[in-house]
Structure 1
Amino acid sequence: MNGRSRRALLIGAVGAIAVFVVLFVLVGARRVVESLLTARPSLVAATFVLALCWLVAWSLMLRTALAALGVDIPFGKSFLVYAGAVFANNVTPFGQAGGEPIAALLISKVSDARYETGLVGIASVDVCNVVPSISLVLISVSYYATTTTVGERLEDAVGAAVALIAVVVAIMLLVWRFQNVIVDRLPSAVSGFVARLGRGQFSPRSIERNLAERLGRFFDNIGHVATDRKRLTAVIGLSLVGWLFQSIALLTAFAALGHSVSPVVVLFVIPLGNLAGAAPLPGGLGGIEAAFVALLVPTTGIAAPVVTAAVLIFRGAIYWMPVLIGGGSMAALGVRVVSR
């Protein structure tokens, strides 16, 4: 890990701690601890089991997406690879930027797939997760609005989610529309810079040719996934199953504290709260917890310390358990999160 990576990780960790300090000061740290001490161990354990089911569902997504690209990975290895990707997401700022390249490297190590093929596989999983999440938000918020007045905070959160997803989709469509231009011009534009970084070890022309070939295969692979309707449907279906497991896990975390929450609420709170993962914090740590509390307190009517305790149990299962599993799989597969 180089100095720049250490500084980024340190700054992100300090930022996460600062967010937690502010959160605990606002809701009352002592009352949060008191709520946690009342949790039923059996239901806390059930929350972790449900989180494990979510991890299994989304690792099957990755396996299915790779199958559409002609890459066959046993279920056990696909689980370890996806857990490693989640680990990378959770320990690097701006999560997905760290997780996808690491997952692609893991895929190339456990199979004969090229790096760009693995990158398309994991990117397909992330993109397909958007479809069920925004659908769940729109459907559940619409239903919630028929029974309860939608507050300004929730309106702003939904508006931000729709705007962000619209921007991402627009960028993806533009990249796909102008893929030929990108393949033709991008390699020549960056080859000289890459050659200078390599201190003359590689010629700009060979770098340009290599980049063009890799970009061409990258877009071809995207086309394979997009046109395999059977597997694409399966991927989206598994994504929905994963979101539902997360929702049930949060409901179970509240049940562990003796409270019940409307399933409709958690169906839109989880995707909306995860938008805070775009913050420059390790895996959105701190920011996502604060977003969950901000959304759940007004929509459930439950006291903030209890909500915070439930969120901490839920995030312990969704965030910290995959960190432990993924860190172990990364070590077993011999891949470092940050190169030197």
Structure 2
Amino acid sequence: MDERNRHAFIIGAVGAVAVFAVLFFFVGARSVIDSLLSAEPSLVAGTFGLALCWLAAWSLMLRTVLASLGIHIPIGKSFLVYAGAVFANNVTPFGQAGGEPIAALLISKVSDARYESGLVGIASVDVINVVPSISLILVGVAYYATTAALGSRLETAVGSAVALIGGIVIVMALVWQYHTTIAERLPSIIAPRLGRLDRFDPETLEEEIADRMGRFFENIERVATDRWRLVAVTGLSLCGWLFQTAALTVAFAALGYDVPAYILLFVIPLANLAGAAPLPGGLGGIEAAFVTLLVPTTGVPASAVTAAVLIFRGAIYWMPVLIGGLSVSAFGVRALR
């Protein structure tokens, strides 16, 4: 890990600690600890088992996307590769935006694929995951609205999510519509500047950037036009979201609370939007978002909600960090060191 990345990580870690400190101050650290100590161990283990199912489903997504690019990875290795990608996302600021380049490096390392192919693979998984999440938010909120009035906090969260996702979709559509122009003109703009910084020949660098961008957009087109694989990948994405929903349901059950699944269907993708914060994998911000959304919608005490979220995030965040960290080390990728 270079000096700049080290500073960013330290700042993000300090920010995460600060968010947790504020959260525990308002909720009550002693009450949260008491709730955690009362959790049923077998159901906590079930939460972690369902999290493994989520990780397996989304690793199959990555394997299927890579197959459409002509990159074939065994099922077991694809699980470790995706765990490594999640690890990269979880230890770099801005979530997927920070971890995708490292995940692409990992994919290219274990499969001998080009870097831009690995980047298309992991980016496609992240983008496709947005589609079921939007559906779950809309369906879950619509059903919740038939059983209870939407609070201003939830309305704001849903409105912000729709606006953010809509903005991302518009930007992606514009980039794709003008990708030929971008691939032709952007290299001539950035190559001279990068050449001065890294002391490379600008003309050679421009050709290299243009070639890589051309292959990048070509790979995106290959993924988007492979309809059967696209349907399979979207189905696996939905399965992953449902496994996460089941995991959080079981986490609440471990504390003795029965929370309707339709609430968790929209809360999980909404809370994950906090992963865009400049914190390692959204650590702290996502937990706070969960508590903010779940307390008014479930009626469960804040201390119990926080405890359930900590169990859930232990399975969804910390377990992949452990598995993925070992995976990255075993594959010999040192970009994070």
TM-score band by shorter chain is over 0.9
In 2, distance between residues paired with 1:217 and 1:300?
48
Question: Given the alignment of the two structures, is residue 258 of structure 1 paired with residue 276 of structure 2, yes or no?
Answer: no
Query: Residue 197 of structure 1: CA displacement?
Result: 2.0
Tell me how far apart the structure 2 counterparts of residues 277 and 218 of structure 1 sit (CA, whole Å). 25
Once the two structures are TM-superposed, the CA of residue 195 in structure 1 deviates from its matched residue by: 1.4
Matching residue of 2:28: 28
Distance in 2 (alpha carbons) for counterparts of 1:261 and 1:18: 29
Q: What root-mean-square deviation, in Å, do the aligned CA atoms of Structure 1 and Structure 2 show? A: 0.9
- Tell me the secondary structure at the aligned position of residue 283 of structure 1: helix
User: Is the contact made by 1:161 and 1:272 (CA closer than 8 Å) also made in structure 2?
Assistant: yes
Contact 1:293/1:307 (8 A) holds in 2 = yes
Q: Identify the residue that residue 3 of structure 2 maps to in structure 1.
A: 3
Report whether the alignment pairs 1:97 with 2:103: no
Deviation at 1:97, TM superposition (A): 2.0
The worse-fitting range, judged by mean Cα deviation, of 82-91 and 107-116 is: 107-116
- Provide, for residues 12-51 of structure 1, a one-character-per-residue CA deviation record: whole Å limited to 9, x for no partner: 0111001101100101100100000100000000000100
Q: Which amino acid aligns with 2:87?
A: F
SS in 2 for 1:70: coil
Q: Once the two structures are aligned, what percentage of the paired residues are identical?
A: 72
Residue by residue over 1:275-305, the C-alpha shift from the partner in whole angstroms, topping out at 9 and shown as x without a partner, is 1111111100000000000100011101000
Query: What is the rounded CA distance, in whole Å, between the counterparts of 2:335 and 2:209 in structure 1?
Result: 23
Equivalent pair of 1:120/1:222 in contact (CA under 8 Å): yes
Distance 1:212 1:6 in 2: 31
User: CA–CA distance in 1 between the matches of 2:322 and 2:54?
Assistant: 15
Give the 3-state SS of the residue equivalent to 2:240 in structure 1.
helix
CA contact (8 A) 1:60 1:79 kept: yes
In the TM superposition, what is the alpha-carbon distance from 1:79 to its structure 2 partner? 1.0
CA drift of 1:104 comes to 1.1
Alignment of 1:82-161 (within 5 A): 82-161=82-161
| Number of aligned residue pairs | 337
Distance 1:89 1:4 in 2: 17
Whole-angstrom distance in 1 between the partners of 2:9 and 2:100: 18
What do residues 65-109 of structure 1 show as CA deviations (whole Å, max 9, x unaligned)?
Answer: 011111111111111111111101111110112221111111111
Residue ranges of structure 1 left out of the alignment (5+ in a row):
none
The amino acid of 1:136's aligned partner reads: L
After superposition, the C-alpha distances for 1:216-237 in whole angstroms (9 at most, x for unaligned) are 1111111111000000001100
Q: Does 1:280 align with 2:278?
A: yes
SS of the residue corresponding to residue 149 of structure 2 reads: coil
Which residues in structure 2 correspond to 1:110-259 (within 5 Å)? 110-199=110-199, 202-259=200-257
Structure 1 residue identity aligned to 2:161: A
How far 1:334 sits from its partner (Å)?
Answer: 0.7
- CA distances 1:180-218 after superposition (whole Å, capped 9, x unpaired): 11111111111111212222xx31111111111111111
Give the Cα separation in 1 of the matches to 2:274 and 2:247: 19
CA–CA distance in 2 between the matches of 1:111 and 1:71?
A: 7
Partners of 2:83 and 2:243 lie apart in 1 by 16
| Alignment check: 8 A CA contact 1:88 1:337 kept | no
Decide whether the 8 Å contact of 1:133 with 1:271 is kept in 2: yes
* Distance in 2 of aligned mates of 1:13 and 1:272: 22
In structure 1, what is the Cα distance between the partners aligned to 2:38 and 2:265? 25
1:292 is matched with 290
Listed as ranges, the gaps of 5+ residues in structure 2 are none
* Alpha-carbon separation, structure 1, partners of 2:197 and 2:24: 46
Q: Which of 269, 277, 301 is matched with 2:267 structurally? A: 269
Deviates more, 1:186-195 or 1:326-335: 186-195
Give, in angstroms, the shift of residue 112 of structure 1.
Answer: 2.9
Which of 301, 307, 310 is the matching residue for 1:303? Answer: 301
Question: 1:110 deviation in Å?
Answer: 1.3
Q: SS at the partner of 1:302?
A: coil
Alpha-carbon separation, structure 2, partners of 1:13 and 1:20: 11
The whole-number CA distance in structure 2 between the counterparts of 1:16 and 1:325 is 21
Deviations 1:253-288 (A, max 9, x none): 000001100000000000000011111111000000
Deviation at 1:3, TM superposition (A): 2.0
Conserved? CA contact 1:69–1:221, under 8 Å: yes
Amino acid at match of 1:237: G
2: CA distance, partners of 1:273 / 1:337? 29
In 1, the alpha carbon distance for the partners of 2:238 and 2:175 equals 26
| Structure 1 contact 257–310 (Cα < 8 Å) conserved | yes
